[in-house]
Structure 1
Amino acid sequence: MMKNSVSVALFVSALALMAAASSGRADCNVKDFIVEDVVSLQKSGGMQLAFVLTATESEYKAAKKNLDTGADVYGLFSGDLNYAQAQQRASQIATATKFNYESSYANSYLSQTVSGQALNAYVKCLEFDKQTPGLRLWLEETKGKYYTIKGFWVGAGTGKYDEPPVIDGGTLVGPPTSWRSGETQTFAVKSDSMDGFYLTMKVGGEGYVLVAVPNPPDVIWLKQPVVSSKKLSVASTFSNPCSEGQVSDSIYPLHSGGHFVANTRTVNHSTNDPSHYSEKFTVDSPDQVSVTLTQNTGDCNRRGVASGQLEAIETYPQAAP
């Protein structure tokens, strides 16, 4: 949560102003570049969460196609998951891990954490529009409390500040004293804390608001067995003709964002005729485990009886204390 030094109200109004300041300029959607180069997306569960929370269906499908399945931190891109299910799971995980799932936060977080070729392409897009009058700023790099900022102004002659820059939550380091039209400039902000900052600049009648949002809480993964409340009982018949008996059950994860660990499902069972007892897992996925128990008999004069209880290990995310 953001501390009093950077109020929630200030961030909300800043994001609205930032959207207004960007209108009419090149539409540089950071997700477009992340989809093309998913390397930065593969590095962070927080980025994956922010992406799925804000992506369109076409953006999600494209990222899912390109993402290495081994880098899918939260299982948001698993093969059998569709767009609606992925967004539902992302919302559950956000709640469980105290991730701010408002689209304004998630989009800002993506913009300030994108890296590699996706970042390069995003910056090229931002710098391409040097015809439309105005001021544009973006976060280039973050190291601890230091944020490197780049930007340019487009206007007639040399731009001067209409008023001193306003910053809340940090200190400006080496800001430009003036702005030459179309020239990219670099400066920095030293944040007062890890809660980000708010910066507004107005040059030659054109303003821009830049907000650095705090990182989401660290996440830990816990494990817990999920044991069905249903105790199964099945028996073969010994009438003539004798026949097998069957019974089924299913279990589901119990926690928001949780899923079953592969190869942990089992049935704790007992039977008086092991040679004619069988289990068939009809569903074995991260979101559901289903099983059918069958008890048969090789002798109609003998009745086979079995009982069992389905269980599996669930792993689920939680915000670190």
Structure 2
Amino acid sequence: MPDRCEVLPGDAVVARSGGGLLWVDAPGSPALVSALHACLGVSGPGADRVLAAVAGQVSSLASGGASFALVLATDTGSGVALWGGKGQPAVDGVPVSGSSVEGGTLASGFALGQTLYVGPGQSAPRTPPGVSFDLVEGTVPGGGATLHLAAPAPSAATATSAAPAQSPFSAPSDAGFGASRGSSAASSARPESGEQTAFWRPDADSAVPILRFDDGMVVTIDEDLVLGRRPDNHEMVTSGSARAVPIADTQNVLSSAHAALTRSGREVSLVDLGSLNGTHVAGPEATEWTQLEPGVAHPLSDGDRLLLGWTVITFEQPQE
């Protein structure tokens, strides 16, 4: 597994131990966390059976409301993953697909690639500065984790010394998960050191409109965007005129390049890019979705809701 771990800001929890990485957004469920965390050291041919057994307990442990993702490296260097809810792994920007098991989804035999993302939705197009941390063992709060296979890692001793004494970064047991919610006061403070900003959710520029995804991910609309399952190859992205925003799609209902958002001054418009299942929009008080005509720009207003496949996104336009 990689040596570098970038923790995206948020209230979830990430743990790494040996060849495994765990993401979970239900730290209030100690039974779920304990069961998943106990599997971090599991690898090899028997990993599938162990993960399937854990998945079978998830519904009862967390009342079906938990989101989690557990990724292990096998002895051959390939990956084994178990996830449920919003927690889905993605390798090099491409979501990992698997088969349904009781309580989750299971995949095995996939290549780990250069970048492995674990968390809600998809990896942020550009990770904010100051959220890097070399997590060798232990638990840490955050909104997700991006591991880079080839990136040099800072010294673990240096990173640890930069953290305050009460930091749960180096917690060696499940206690770090349960303690994360109680650390909210420290989490909300903007720390002096960049190594500690995994606790801090950066304030968005008040002048820039944003997309707020139903899984909690926030994307700033500071340039034109192309959204979809694999939007990197769309001509707007390859020409450099737009940024790709990949969206996790476990139900295979999104097109590779599903829709685009274009800016003209303060006005932001939504355009369906000829998607197979259509792009829909609804006002803040609307009770029905309106399907857009492909290729026709639809100006957005503050509070409008976007429906791409099963993903609901809210458009927020700051006041002048």
Pick the structure with more helix per residue. 1
Q: Same fold (TM over 0.5)?
A: no
Structure whose alpha-carbon radius of gyration is higher: 1
TM-score by length of 2: 0.26
